[in-house]
Structure formats: structure tokens, C-alpha cells
């Protein structure tokens, strides 16, 4: 039974953080803006009043040093939850994350633990341009020893946040900024949504779409429109990029034989490439046609609106790939694309999609 | 030896011609920023904007001490730095509107004002990212035997980043013609300085790094100019890198066109106090004291600037968007 209560993902995150702070004295939040009136887009709002400045640590603008400080405290048994308002700012922390956090458990033969959660927000829209809207999950997913997760619904945001905090490893949580607005059914009180791999979020038999983060919503919208033209596709929410569990994806491919992957990052060297490589290695015989990848084109995010319009792929790109892979008529593809675009209500691409209110 | 120079408002040495030109520069910046704020709701400038209203004295005073061939580097709050350095208003507005005629061809938005010809090498939206780049520009100037200087604008928060210290150390040890100009407006977004740094003058960091360091009233354009003149001469002569701490105040919200005093992160009393130290109003008083610039002259100046702004907005609004066929262009130099 899903919970009756509907809240946004931002509220779900805030709730998870509040519960963790309440239930686990070793947790603390750290980040630029965690204690300010904005409260990281509402996700930490008010927590400073309840938990005070030792548990809700407003930090200097010093990402690299403070990451090492968080790691040091984690080695001593604390559970820091660090937040960056953009993934782009977390680039300053890579040395500590990649060298210290990711390797401490391994090199000590399992004696050291780094129970660190790092929240990083992927920006999008309003011309914020090349250095405020990068989707850099593959950087982190490349590093053995880090866990990398990308929740897509409010339920998952809350449950996966709890799971990340409870985990004894460094967990990178990448939050797409536009998902913060999305509504969904979220139970009260703490619960875990295990960091155990991809999940089928809509079943179907004609093709498999593996999507991550915000693209899960685009994939579901494509799936609904395709359903209306008689094409039933399976949508898998990747959820956990590392450690990568291919089992549900391979099972789906064995059923459908057709694969489209779509994620929020660049297509080249992206998540999609890793998924496709695994499928080709492990289920080549099941593939009826070459897989397709939907991702960003090979250049930085342009600020200018008309350039952003052709930069970001959406549900119509998924529909078109499915149409080709499943041999749908041009009419059916057109009809599905028209439906998808109608739901968008003509809102410019640099503003959050009004159709993605949910509840999801 | 590093010396501290406190620049008092020395009325005897006050040159009215210079005062009038500093006044004009500040008013021009203010009027442009206010027009951006007024028109922001039209949603033609579809990118975040970080306005410098209240902070005009620093860029005005600094740029008056620079040559065209000197370079400055800046941050997310870069409009005033660009305008004061002789940047192209039309190219700046076109950039904010995402047009091909923008100084970054519409690819960057308001936080990316790159214009080497104007002497603004770049501005970067990642805090402190432009600091080492400015030091690199200074190193190139030295290596190439040019007698130019590089001015590195930074906010009070950027001295919290490690890269500031790495850059300051290198600039000092190599005696590079670099001048760090820290505009201390007391806040990083909504977080006050006291929550981020211990209670010591930021200028002590400059001294600790061996930089020739001065403190100035960042709302006194003439004081900034005098101090800048001395620092620029110092850096240009090869005597070494410098640091200026300029205390000032941002009037509007961190990002966006509005006032945000209702949020409660700063008090209205503090805001009003700083508004009372308006760099433009205080210069008017001093100019009037010298009989240098009367109301009619100020009005004539304002009319001229309004005409310039109107024309520049019209230019930017009429300028074409980039062709989508060019979206992937210029990824690599050929
Ligand atoms: C590395 C990095 N961390 C965080 C941010 C977010 N951010 C943008 S501006 C800003 C405040 C900077 O304050 P300051 O340097 O004092 O400049 P001001 O905005 O006051 O002019 C912050 C934290 C960023 N852009 N880059």
C-alpha cells in the first residue's frame, strides 16, 4: 500500500535528513547554505533551528578541505552528510573523495570505514550555462570504492537518503535539481530503500528503456504515449550506478531484445556506454537490433535558449528510438511525439517541466 | 617589508576632474545594473544575474588606475568589473540575452564575460577559479617582458578556498605583477563573514603571504583610486605582487534583481547604514564642495547614459540568436 501522503522530493529529503539527525547522534550536515534561509532549495530548511550549528554545519567556501575534514570525522565514527549546491562545485573535492574516501577501506584490509554521504545537485535551466549544469555522475561511478546513486522519485529520495546515511561506505547521491519539485507518495517516519540496484518501474515486452535520474520521468512519459499507440515498453530506473547490478537489465533484455539507454550526462563515455557494453558482453545473443543511446551532445551546456533547446534530449527522442527499434509506423511515432509535446504545454525548455508534478 | 597604507579622504589632494570621471563611471554602472534589474522580469535575460549595485567604487577606482592592456579577471559578480575596464555594454547585454553578438557568443551567460581586447581576460562562476588564472596572466606578462599588470577581483569568500593561498604564495615568491583586489561585502550568499572566518582582517592573509598589502574604504572611489595607483606602480615596477582589501556592501540579493532584506540573514539597520555610505552620494557631496558638478551637469550626464543604455538594450534585443547548426562548434581550436 503506497502512503496516502503526497510531498515533494525536496520535502522528502528534508524529512530523511531530519530523521537521521534525530535518530543517529553521529550524523551531521555540512555544506554551503545548509543553515541559511534558502536551506539548499528547501532540503535542509529549518534543521538548524532544531539541531543547532554543531549538527548543521554551515561551512566556509572551502570544498576540498572540508571534504577531507568530513572524511577524517567519518574515520572516527561520525556520519557526515555533505551537500554541494552544484556537482560542479564538488569538482574541488575529487582528490579527497577519489584518493582518501574511496580507498581507505580497501587499503586497510577493511579496518577503516568512511560512512560519508555526499549530496550533489545537478543544475539545469535558466541559462546557467557551462559551469553550473554538468551531470558528472560518471566521474564518480568510475571510481572503485565509491557508491553512486541517483534517486528519481520522492519515495526513493527519502528511502535512498536513509540508506546512504546508514551505509558504511562513501555514497555519492546525485540529485537532479528539477526532481526536487516532483510530488510523490512518501511514508512518514524512516524507511530504507536499499541501494541494491536497478528497478523495473513499468513493465512491457517490446523494448527496454534503462534510464537514470530525471530521464526516468522522460522515459515514463514516452512509455505512456507509446502505450497509446499500442507499443508496450519496459522502463528500468537505474537507481544505483555503482556498484552496478546488471541482473534486472539483462533479464529485461532477454524478454524484449531491444535496448534504449538514456541518462542526464554526455552520451560519449557516459553511463549508457557502460550499460550497453555490459549488455553486449553478457546478452549479445538476446539483442535483436543494436542498442541506442540517448544523452547530451558532445559539447558544454550553452547558456543561450535556442542552443539549450537542441542540447537536452527528451521523451520524443526516446519515442523515436523505440519507433525505429520496434518498427512502428511514422504515424504512430508522430502521434506519440505529439502527445508528449502536448503535455509539456509549450513551457520553454529552460524552465522545469509542468507535466512532471507527479505524484510519482 | 610590507606596509599598511590607510588612505584618508585627503580633500587637499582631491582632483575634481578625476572625481567627475569616477562619478560618471559609478553612475553608469549603477544605471546599467538598475536597468538590468528593471527589465529582468521580461525574461529576455534568461540567466542568473549577480548585481554590483552598492559596490561601484571598487571597479571604478581600480580601472582608473589601469591601462587598456592591463588585464583583469573576475567572478560571478562581474558586470561592474567588465564595464569599468572598458568592456562593451552591447556585448555584455547580448551575452545575457543569449545572442551571438554576446562577448561569449551567447554560450556563457552573465557570469562569463570574456573580452581580452577590453582587458578582461575572463570571469568564472566557480568561486576562486579565476584567481590562479589571473596569476597566470601576470606570469605571462613577466615572461613576455610586458609591463602590464593583472588585477584579480575576488570576493571575501574566495580566500576560504585553498587555491587563493596557492596562487597568492606563488605570485609573491615570483614577484609577479599581480594585484589581488578583495571586495569584502560581508556575505557569501546568505552566510555572514563571521560564520565563515575568524575575527581577523582579511588583509592579514595578504601580509602573511608576503604581498604588498593595503586596506581601503571600498565605498570611496577616490581612496580606491589612490591606493590602486600606488599598487599598480609597485606591481608594474617589478617590486612584487599586491593585495587590496576593500570593504563594501551589496545592496540587492546575492543573485537576481530584487532586495532580500526580508529574509532576515542581515538586518535592515545594517543595510540602511551601508546605504547611507552610498559611494555615489558621498562623491556628489565632495564634488559639490568643490563646485565641480552641479545637478544640471549630473542630469545631462544621466541623460547621456540613459541614451547609451537604451541603444544597447535595443541592439541586444534585435541581435540574432546563435544558429542551432553552430551548437557544437568551437569545441577544439583548429
Ligand atoms: C567552488 C564554488 N562553491 C560554491 C559556489 C556557490 N557560490 C556562488 S557565489 C558564492 C558566494 C561567493 O561569495 P563572495 O566570494 O564573497 O562573493 P560575493 O557573491 O559576495 O560577491 C557561492 C558560495 C561556487 N560558485 N563555486
Task: Report the run of H or E that residue A95 belongs to, with start and end.
Answer: helix A94-95
Contact by Cβ (8 Å): A298, A266: yes
From atom 20 of ligand 1, which residue's Cα is the shortest distance away? B188
**The pLDDT of residue B7:** 45
The nearest CA of chain A is from the CA of B229 a distance in Å of 31
- The DSSP output letter for B77 is S
Rounded to whole angstroms, the Cα distance separating B48 from A210 reads: 33
The nearest CA of chain B is from the CA of A123 a distance in Å of 12
**The pLDDT of residue B14:** 82
Q: Which of B181, B135, B190 is closest to B158 using CA atoms?
A: B181
Which sign does the torsion angle of CA A168, A174, A180, A184 carry? negative
Residue B135 bridge partners (DSSP):
none
Residue A149 bridge partners (DSSP):
A173, A240
The nearest CA of chain A is from the CA of B81 a distance in Å of 20
Cα B223 to averaged position of ligand 1 atoms, centre (Å): 26
Nearest CB partner across the interface for A131, out of B125, B158, B196: B125
Crossing angle of helices B89-96 and B295-318, in 10° steps, is 50
User: What burial letters (b/e) apply to A203-228, b meaning 16+ CB within 10 Å?
Assistant: ebebbbbbbbbbbbbbbbbbbbbbee
Residue A150 bridge partners (DSSP):
none
**The pLDDT of residue B4:** 41
Rounded to whole angstroms, the Cα distance separating B30 from A7 reads: 42
Contact by Cβ (8 Å): B105, B322: yes
End-to-end CA distance of chain A: 14
Contacts of B127 in chain A (CB under 8 A): 61, 89
pLDDT tens string A273-293:
999 999 999 999 999 999 999
Nearest chain B residue to A62 by CA distance is B161
Which residues lie below 8 Å from residue B12, measured CB to CB, with a gap of 6+? none
Rg (CA), chain B: 19
- Answer whether A6-185 and A199-345 agree in fold: yes
Cα B188 to averaged position of ligand 1 atoms, centre (Å): 6
Contact by Cβ (8 Å): A37, A31: no
Pick the CATH number of A199-345 from 3.40.50.920, 3.60.21.10, 3.30.43.10, 3.30.70.141: 3.40.50.920
Q: How many secondary structure helices (H) and strands (E) does chain A include?
A: 14, 14
Contacts of A304 in chain B (CB under 8 A): 98-99, 102, 106-107, 321-322
Q: Where are the beta strands (DSSP E) in chain B?
A: 71-74, 120-123, 150-155, 178-184, 187-188, 191-192, 212-217, 242-247
Contact by Cβ (8 Å): B154, B181: yes
Residue B227 grid cell: 591606493
Contact B189 A36 (CB under 8 A): yes
Segments of chain A scoring below 70 in pLDDT: 1
Rounded to whole angstroms, the Cα distance separating B152 from B150 reads: 6
The nearest CA of chain A is from the CA of B316 a distance in Å of 13
Where along chain A do its domains lie?
A: 6-185, 199-345
A88 at B interface, C-beta within 8 A: yes
Count CA within 13 A, CB hemisphere, residue B190.
18
Contact A132 B125 (CB under 8 A): yes
What is chain B's pLDDT, residue by residue, as a tens digit (334 residues)? 344 444 445 666 789 999 999 999 999 999 999 999 999 999 999 999 999 999 999 999 999 999 999 999 999 999 999 999 999 999 999 999 999 999 999 999 999 999 999 999 999 999 999 999 999 999 999 999 999 999 999 999 999 999 999 999 999 999 999 999 999 999 999 999 999 999 999 999 999 999 999 999 999 999 999 999 999 999 999 999 999 999 999 999 999 999 999 999 999 999 999 999 999 999 999 999 999 999 999 999 999 999 999 999 999 999 999 999 999 999 999 9
**The pLDDT of residue B10:** 61
Rounded to whole angstroms, the Cα distance separating B196 from A320 reads: 51
A132 is known as an active-site residue: yes
Pocket test for ligand 1, best of A32, A60, A61, A136 (most atoms within 8 A of CB): A61
Rounded to whole angstroms, the Cα distance separating B248 from B134 reads: 22
**The pLDDT of residue A312:** 97
Residue A13 grid cell: 529529503
Contact B324 A307 (CB under 8 A): yes
Q: Which of residues 311-330 of A touch B (CB under 8 A)?
A: 311
Q: In this predicted complex, what is the ipTM?
A: 0.96
Phi, psi of B110 (to 5 degrees): -60, -25
**The pLDDT of residue B3:** 40
List residues near ligand 1 (CB under 6 A). Answer: A 32, 61, 63, 85, 89, 92; B 76-77, 125-127, 155-158, 185, 187-189, 254
Contact by Cβ (8 Å): B191, A33: yes
Contact B109 A37 (CB under 8 A): no
**What superfamily in CATH does domain B4-317 come from?**
Thiamin diphosphate (ThDP)-binding fold, Pyr/PP domains (3.40.50.970)
- B interface residues, A as partner, C-beta within 8 Å: 46-48, 95, 98-99, 102, 104, 106-109, 111-112, 124-128, 157-158, 160-162, 188-191, 195-197, 263-265, 321-322, 324, 327-328, 331
Task: Report the run of H or E that residue A265 belongs to, with start and end.
Answer: strand A259-266
Ligand 1 atom nearest the C-alpha of B125 is 25
- Which of helix, strand or coil describes residue B314? helix
Q: CB B4: neighbour CB atoms within 10 A?
A: 10
Question: At the topology level of CATH, where does A6-185 sit?
Answer: Rossmann fold (3.40.50)
Rounded to whole angstroms, the Cα distance separating A151 from B16 reads: 62
Burial class of A126 by CB neighbour count within 10 A (0 to 12, 13 to 18, 19+):
buried
Contact by Cβ (8 Å): B116, B110: no
Nearest CB partner across the interface for A304, out of B188, B264, B322: B322
Count CA within 13 A, CB hemisphere, residue B177.
26
Amino acid at each position: 500500500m503506497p502512503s496516502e501522503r503526497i510531498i515533494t522530493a525536496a520535502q522528502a529529503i528534508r524529512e530523511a535528513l531530519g530523521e537521521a539527525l534525530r535518530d543517529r547522534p553521529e550524523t551531521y550536515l555540512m555544506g554551503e547554505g545548509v543553515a541559511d534561509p534558502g536551506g539548499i532549495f528547501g532540503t535542509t530548511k529549518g534543521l538548524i533551528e532544531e539541531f543547532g550549528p554543531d549538527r548543521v554545519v554551515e561551512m566556509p567556501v572551502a570544498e576540498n578541505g572540508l571534504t577531507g575534514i568530513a572524511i577524517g570525522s567519518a574515520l572516527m565514527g561520525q556520519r557526515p552528510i555533505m551537500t554541494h549546491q552544484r556537482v560542479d562545485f564538488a569538482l574541488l573535492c575529487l582528490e579527497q573523495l577519489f584518493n582518501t574516501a574511496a580507498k581507505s577501506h580497501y587499503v586497510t584490509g577493511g579496518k577503516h570505514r568512511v560512512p560519508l554521504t555526499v549530496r550533489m545537485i545537478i543544475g539545469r535551466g535558466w541559462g546557467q550555462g557551462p559551469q553550473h549544469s554538468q551531470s558528472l555522475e560518471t566521474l564518480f561511478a568510475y571510481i572503485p570504492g565509491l557508491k553512486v546513486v541517483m534517486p528519481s522519485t520522492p519515495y526513493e529520495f527519502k528511502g535512498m537518503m536513509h540508506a546512504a546515511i546508514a551505509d558504511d561506505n562513501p555514497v555519492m547521491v546525485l540529485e537532479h535539481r528539477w526532481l526536487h519539485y516532483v510530488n510523490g507518495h512518501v511514508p512518514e517516519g524512516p524507511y530504507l530503500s536499499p541501494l541494491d540496484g536497478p528497478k523495473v518501474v513499468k513493465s512491457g515486452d517490446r523494448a527496454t528503456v534503462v534510464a537514470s535520474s530525471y530521464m526516468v520521468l522522460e522515459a515514463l512519459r514516452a512509455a505512456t504515449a507509446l502505450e497509446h499507440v499500442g507499443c508496450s515498453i519496459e522502463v528500468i530506473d537505474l537507481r544505483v550506478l555503482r556498484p552496478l547490478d546488471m541482473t534486472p537489465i539483462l533479464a529485461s533484455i532477454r524478454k524484449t531484445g531491444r535496448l534504449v539507454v538514456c541518462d542526464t550526462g554526455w552520451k560519449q563515455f557516459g553511463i549508457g556506454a557502460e550499460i550497453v557494453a555490459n549488455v553486449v558482453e553478457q546478452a549479445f545473443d538476446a539483442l535483436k537490433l543494436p542498442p541506442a543511446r540517448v544523452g547530451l551532445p558532445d559539447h558544454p551546456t550553452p547558456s543561450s535558449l535556442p542552443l539549450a533547446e537542441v542540447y537536452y534530449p527528451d521523451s520524443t527522442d526516446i519515442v523515436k528510438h523505440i519507433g525505429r527499434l520496434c518498427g512502428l509506423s511514422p504515424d504512430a511515432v508522430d502521434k506519440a511525439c505529439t502527445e508528449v509535446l502536448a503535455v509539456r504545454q509549450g513551457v520553454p525548455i529552460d524552465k522545469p517541466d509542468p507535466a512532471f508534478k507527479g505524484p510519482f | 617589508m610590507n606596509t599598511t597604507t590607510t588612505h584618508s579622504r585627503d580633500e587637499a589632494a582631491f582632483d575634481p576632474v578625476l572625481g567627475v570621471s569616477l562619478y560618471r563611471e559609478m553612475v553608469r554602472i549603477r544605471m546599467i545594473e538598475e536597468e538590468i534589474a528593471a527589465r529582468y522580469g521580461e525574461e529576455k535575460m534568461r540567466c542568473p544575474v549577480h548585481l554590483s549595485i552598492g559596490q561601484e567604487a571598487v571597479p571604478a577606482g581600480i580601472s582608473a588606475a589601469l591601462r587598456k592592456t592591463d588585464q583583469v579577471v573576475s567572478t560571478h559578480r562581474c558586470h561592474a568589473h567588465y564595464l569599468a575596464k572598458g568592456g562593451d555594454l552591447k556585448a555584455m547585454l547580448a551575452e545575457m540575452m543569449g545572442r551571438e553578438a554576446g562577448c561569449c557568443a551567447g554560450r556563457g551567460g552573465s557570469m562569463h564575460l570574456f573580452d581580452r581586447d577590453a582587458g578582461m581576460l575572463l570571469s568564472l562562476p566557480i568561486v576562486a577559479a579565476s584567481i590562479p588564472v589571473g596569476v597566470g596572466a601576470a606570469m605571462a606578462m613577466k615572461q613576455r617582458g610586458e609591463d602590464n599588470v593583472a588585477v584579480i577581483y575576488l570576493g571575501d569568500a574566495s580566500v576560504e578556498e585553498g587555491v587563493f593561498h596557492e596562487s597568492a604564495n606563488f605570485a609573491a615568491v615570483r614577484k609577479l605583477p599581480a594585484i589581488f583586489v578583495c571586495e569584502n561585502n560581508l556575505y557569501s550568499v546568505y552566510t555572514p563573514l563571521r560564520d565563515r572566518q575568524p575575527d581577523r582582517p582579511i588583509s592579514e592573509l595578504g601580509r602573511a603571504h608576503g604581498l604588498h598589502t593595503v586596506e581601503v574604504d571600498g565605498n570611496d572611489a577616490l581612496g580606491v583610486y589612490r591606493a590602486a595607483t600606488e599598487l599598480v606602480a609597485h606591481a608594474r615596477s617589478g617590486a612584487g605582487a599586491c593585495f587590496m582589501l576593500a570593504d563594501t556592501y551589496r545592496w540587492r540579493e546575492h543573485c537576481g534583481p530584487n532586495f532580500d532584506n526580508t529574509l532576515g540573514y542581515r538586518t535592515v539597520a545594517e543595510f540602511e547604514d551601508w546605504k547611507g555610505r552610498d559611494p555615489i552620494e558621498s562623491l556628489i557631496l565632495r564634488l559639490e564642495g568643490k563646485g565641480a558638478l552641479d545637478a544640471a551637469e549630473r542630469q545631462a550626464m544621466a541623460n547621456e547614459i540613459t541614451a547609451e543604455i537604451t541603444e544597447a538594450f535595443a541592439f541586444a534585443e534585435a541581435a540574432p540568436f546563435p544558429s542551432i547548426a553552430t551548437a557544437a562548434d568551437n569545441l577544439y581550436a583548429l
